[in-house]
Structure 1
Amino acid sequence: MPTPLKNQPVPPKLRYAPVPLDDAPQVQGLLSRSGLGTLDPESLTSYMGRNDNWAGTTSTGAEVFVKHIGGSPQDSLSRFTRVTSFDRMLRSTAVAELHSPRLLAADEPSRTLAFDLLEDCRSGADLASDEEFDDALAERAGRLVAELHELPLGEYDVDDSLPPMPPMDSLQALPWQLFVNCSAAQLEAWGLMQSDQELLTALNGLRERELAATRRPSHCDLRLDQFLLSGETLLLTDWEEFRLADPARDVGGFAGEWLYRAVLGIPKALGAEERFGRSPSHEEVVGRGVEELDRLRPRVEAFCAGYRAVRPDLDAGFAVRAVGYAGWHLIERMLAGSAQRVRLGAVDRAAAGIGRTALLAPAASVTTLGLGGLS
């Protein structure tokens, strides 16, 4: 894990010291071959993420963000190809709302990509944390995602493999490599899921409905931090999971993000009671959760309004599937949040419980989650 830079102002995205360029010669090689110049090692920075990355100004004055896609040879090639496949589709299509950082150069053998660096941008997660991801921005996000789902396929070769989540095989038994790398909290989470037959039945039902749905170009890893606001332009980034998939998955991901934020808001809303030494009752916890969801639901409703304005003709089961994906999103959040913990936390359990409820009764949760506009 790269170490944070010291004594530096913190922008909307946390910055880190990048991997030394001497240890990643493919970075300068890609930039120089592409006529972009070379990066100054002394002025580089890096952003938090699963891939090594470098950001800065080159000797030609270009502002670049360079990313190396790590992992096994086959997995990294698949993710690299999805990124370049999306870029080709986007650049050959006239769109009004669908924007993404421009891909400047790519090198398949080293799995290295160079993009325009957007220095003045803020992520959707940052905006939401500061209560600045409002209904108007959510409506624009809905239009953007709908335009993605309407991209014409043409002759493009787009990955049509099923998204890896939910991991149906691992819900039966964990592969050894995954097992030995799990934290104690993750093993606890997997155990809870594997022993919950109702949940497994619901996830199998969601997968069956997914297989029957018409597939469209989809992001398949939609989170608020994948949205970037640069000036007045809203962009979507990180296309490593891009493929042909059920478009309801992306809509459910967006709804799931706000549902998870409602869960995260419960401890904050109950903080006053806890500071005075009184533990809140179950009814108070549930009540606060309902209040938080009521407060945030308009973001999802605005997103759906923007989405429906671009894609008015949706299949009858679209909203119900979106609820199922939103429910899985919360369970996946539990898994991700437990990676460095010994025990599952209260917020993780609460998120998973709400996600489970959505998965078991998706039709009953459509309006509750703000997805009624898609019915």
Structure 2
Amino acid sequence: MPTSNDEVLVVEAPDEVTPRWMTRALGTGGTDVEIAALRFEPIGTGQTGASYRFHLEPAPGQTAGPAPATVVLKMHAGDRVARARICRAYRQETGFYQTFASSTRMQIPRCWSAAISADSLSYTLVLEDAAPARPGRQVDGCTADQATLAVRNLAGLHAPFWGDPDLQGRAAWLRRADDETLRFQQSLFLGAADGFVGRYAAELSAADSATLLRCAEEFFRWGQGIRHHSSLIHGDYRLDNLLFDEHGHVVTVDWQTLEEGFPGRDLAYFLSTALPPADRRRHEVALVAAYHQRLVELGVDGYSADDCFTDYRLGMLHGPMTTMIGCMYAAGPRSADSDEMFLSMAANSAAAIRDLATFDLVPPA
């Protein structure tokens, strides 16, 4: 994976990308080919970044390292004031590809170039185009087979970094939730929960509203109680960030919420939001077992299947936290589609918390 922070490989707009620039970017990632021409179109609807598909035409007579027909260029979006509020996310995503991607055992896009400016306000990634694979959709959910692919892929992120004491040493920028951070996050969570339950009072059941509000109240103690296992975690491992193809492969994208944390958070967040409650109840034992089996296959030992299921139960507060903070502090405009997505995620994760008695596992005050 590329490790250069060369600011020459950071662009401020896609039309700054020339054939010469693309030739250099591909060369950084090990593809020695001259690009003669290119064109691009925007793809996706990211809130904190912008993505473009570039179609590449190599120079005639190329014999070394065939160029990909297309690549995806991902970069910052918005003005500098807006970017200053979220630039840590740029550092996280660029840092993942620079520092950790080569050690994962999960399916991720190949990255030819990952560069970020000195002030972290601008970044540019040149990534493998996963098309025709398509992202999942939260409101639609996924099948049990797709969920199995996803949880086994997730274990491929967690296993290589399981209990690694030197993650911070390898990446000083990597987020980690100390008590001060937990208090700050709880203040955001409390405000977001009040706002969310108030906004959607007519659509939420009384049980869901009570569960969501209690999640915010319990958050600090929960955060202190999930420090017995740690790894590198995605932080937003949900269907919209997974690309599925017809051959049974799944590719994980969007690493802006990367941190060192409790692996059960990723697992619980995915299963509680990707499957309707009835499907989750039917399949969750087998799905958690599939995740655990893959951890063992990849060398994690001393971690029982029972402990794994308990950690899955305990990780459930991640769903309401991420959903409600994401909803109430979203940079993009509110829409009917976003309302449907956030409500689905909140209701599904609240049901899982009640089904699995997650609050019983939170340390008492």
Count of aligned pairs between the two proteins: 295
Aligned residues of 1:327 and 1:354 also touching (Cα < 8 A) = no
Cα distance change, pair 47–39 in 1 and its aligned pair in 2 (3 A): farther
Pick aligned residue for 1:156 from 166, 170, 173: 170
Letter matched to residue 59 of structure 1? E
Pick aligned residue for 1:233 from 242, 245, 249: 249
Aligned residues of 2:43 and 2:53 also touching (Cα < 8 A) = yes
Aligned residues of 2:147 and 2:271 also touching (Cα < 8 A) = no
- Once residues 86 and 327 of structure 2 are traced to their aligned partners in structure 1, the CA distance between those partners, rounded to angstroms, is 25
Describe the superposition over 1:265-293 as per-residue Cα deviations: whole angstroms up to 9, x where unpaired: xxxxxxxxxxxxxxxxxxxxxxxxxxxx2
Q: CA deviation at 1:299?
A: 5.0
Letter matched to residue 52 of structure 1? A
Q: CA deviation at 1:218?
A: 0.5
Unmatched runs of 5 consecutive residues or more in structure 2 = 1-10, 28-33, 59-66, 297-302, 360-365
Cα distance change, pair 162–27 in 1 and its aligned pair in 2 (3 A): farther
Residue number in structure 1 paired with 2:293: 309
Residue number in structure 2 paired with 1:340: 334
Pick aligned residue for 1:170 from 183, 188, 211: 188
Residue number in structure 2 paired with 1:254: 270
2:35 matches 1:37: yes
- Once residues 341 and 131 of structure 2 are traced to their aligned partners in structure 1, the CA distance between those partners, rounded to angstroms, is 33
Cα distance change, pair 151–321 in 1 and its aligned pair in 2 (3 A): same
Aligned residues of 1:122 and 1:229 also touching (Cα < 8 A) = yes
2:211 matches 1:203: no
- Once residues 220 and 94 of structure 1 are traced to their aligned partners in structure 2, the CA distance between those partners, rounded to angstroms, is 15
Aligned residues of 1:253 and 1:326 also touching (Cα < 8 A) = yes
Residue number in structure 1 paired with 2:89: 79
Q: CA deviation at 1:348?
A: 6.3
- Once residues 85 and 24 of structure 1 are traced to their aligned partners in structure 2, the CA distance between those partners, rounded to angstroms, is 21
Aligned residues of 2:94 and 2:116 also touching (Cα < 8 A) = no
Cα distance change, pair 69–213 in 1 and its aligned pair in 2 (3 A): farther
Pick aligned residue for 1:114 from 109, 126, 134: 126
Describe the superposition over 1:311-368 as per-residue Cα deviations: whole angstroms up to 9, x where unpaired: 35155751332222234455457648996269x9799668646655655x575269xx
Aligned residues of 1:66 and 1:113 also touching (Cα < 8 A) = yes
- Once residues 347 and 105 of structure 1 are traced to their aligned partners in structure 2, the CA distance between those partners, rounded to angstroms, is 33
Aligned residues of 2:268 and 2:316 also touching (Cα < 8 A) = yes
Q: CA deviation at 1:119?
A: 1.9
Aligned residues of 1:323 and 1:362 also touching (Cα < 8 A) = no
Query: 1:213 aligns to what SS in structure 2?
Result: coil
1:172-187 aligned within 5 A: none
Cα distance change, pair 26–83 in 1 and its aligned pair in 2 (3 A): farther
Unmatched runs of 5 consecutive residues or more in structure 1 = 1-20, 175-184, 263-292, 367-375
Aligned residues of 2:238 and 2:273 also touching (Cα < 8 A) = yes
Residue number in structure 1 paired with 2:147: 138
CA RMSD of aligned residues (A): 4.3
Residue number in structure 2 paired with 1:288: none
Residue number in structure 2 paired with 1:66: 73
Cα distance change, pair 201–39 in 1 and its aligned pair in 2 (3 A): farther
Q: CA deviation at 1:237?
A: 1.0
Cα distance change, pair 233–346 in 1 and its aligned pair in 2 (3 A): closer
Cα distance change, pair 253–113 in 1 and its aligned pair in 2 (3 A): same
- Once residues 113 and 56 of structure 2 are traced to their aligned partners in structure 1, the CA distance between those partners, rounded to angstroms, is 14
Cα distance change, pair 333–206 in 1 and its aligned pair in 2 (3 A): same
Cα distance change, pair 39–107 in 1 and its aligned pair in 2 (3 A): farther
Query: 2:175 aligns to what SS in structure 1?
Result: coil
2:314 matches 1:321: yes
Query: 1:54 aligns to what SS in structure 2?
Result: strand
Q: CA deviation at 1:190?
A: 10
Q: CA deviation at 1:309?
A: 0.3
Aligned residues of 1:93 and 1:151 also touching (Cα < 8 A) = yes
- Once residues 73 and 125 of structure 1 are traced to their aligned partners in structure 2, the CA distance between those partners, rounded to angstroms, is 27
Query: 2:127 aligns to what SS in structure 1?
Result: strand
